[in-house]
Amino acid sequence: MLGFRLAFTTHPLRRLLVVGCHPDDIEIGCGGTILSLTRAQPDLEVTWVVLSASGERAEEARVGATAFLAAAGSVDLRLHEFRDGFLPYGGGAVKDVFEGLKEVEPDLVLTHTRSDLHQDHRLACELTWNTFRDHLVLEYEVPKYDGDLGAPNVFVPLSEDVAQEKCRLLLDSFGTQRGKHWFDERLFLGLMRLRGVEAAEPSGYAEGFTCRKLSLDLR
């Protein structure tokens, strides 16, 4: 498969914004990419946003972000307490949160995908695009009961070590989820393995994203 390196025409990648509705969404959807990216660029400034995190789950969100961003240059962790499953019904307040993210001026945004059947995830994607209309946005996928996985058109290759570490950090960070039938190493590795096959990645592993707009400078 033809590959491109992530490079910007005006400046290096400096600021990354990642958006997730719930603790573990970001880590499941793009944890391997974040591990790889922060290690390749140790000066990366990361803004990490979780919209629905309260009580014990808020602490898990902090633990997960800390583990996955251990190699980042700087971290701005923003946790909110919107009610799980009800984000569209408090859309005005959620939009205010996104308006406040404009100050980040990110070079790259990682967010939920538009085709996700979870209503919170869809709203997060919609507001991401409303807020960052002239940015590079990659939409990550979260496997779940709904069976809404799509056909990603961007793949980030992962080494086997990174894929294994992603699974380990997920299981270590989110104890409240371990009893759920979908939260296990087999699922996480299986999806990365599938995307690795689709990407013809020699390591066997990759994460998939949807990119809806991309400008290629061929000069």
pLDDT digits (tens, 9 = 90+) for 182-209: 999 999 999 999 999 999 999 999 999 9
The one-letter amino acid at 166: K
Question: Which tokens in the block code for residue 150?
Answer: 């799509």
Closest by Cα among 163, 94, 83, 160 to 127: 94
pLDDT of residue 10: 61
Which domains does the chain show, CATH number per domain?
A: 15-210 (3.40.50.10320)
| pLDDT tens by residue, the chain, 219 residues | 666 666 655 667 899 999 999 999 999 999 999 999 999 999 999 999 999 999 999 999 999 999 999 999 999 999 999 999 999 999 999 999 999 999 999 999 999 999 999 999 999 999 999 999 999 999 999 999 999 999 999 999 999 999 999 999 999 999 999 999 999 999 999 999 999 999 999 999 999 999 999 888 777
Cα–Cα dist 190/195, whole Å: 9
CA–CA distance, 105 with 101 (Å, rounded to integer): 8
Question: H/E/C letters for each residue in the chain?
Answer: CCCCCCCCCCCCCCEEEEEECCCCHHHHHHHHHHHHHHHHCCCCEEEEEECECCCHHHHHHHHHHHHHCCCCCEEEEEECECCCCCHHHHHHHHHHHHHHHHHHCCCEEEEECCCCCCHHHHHHHHHHHHHCCCCEEEEECCCCCCCCCCCCCEEEEECHHHHHHHHHHHHHHCHHHCCCCCCCHHHHHHHHHHHHHHCCCCCCEEEEEECCCCCCCCC
pTM equals 0.95
Instruction: Supply the pLDDT for residue 219.
Output: 74
One-letter amino acid at 136 equals L
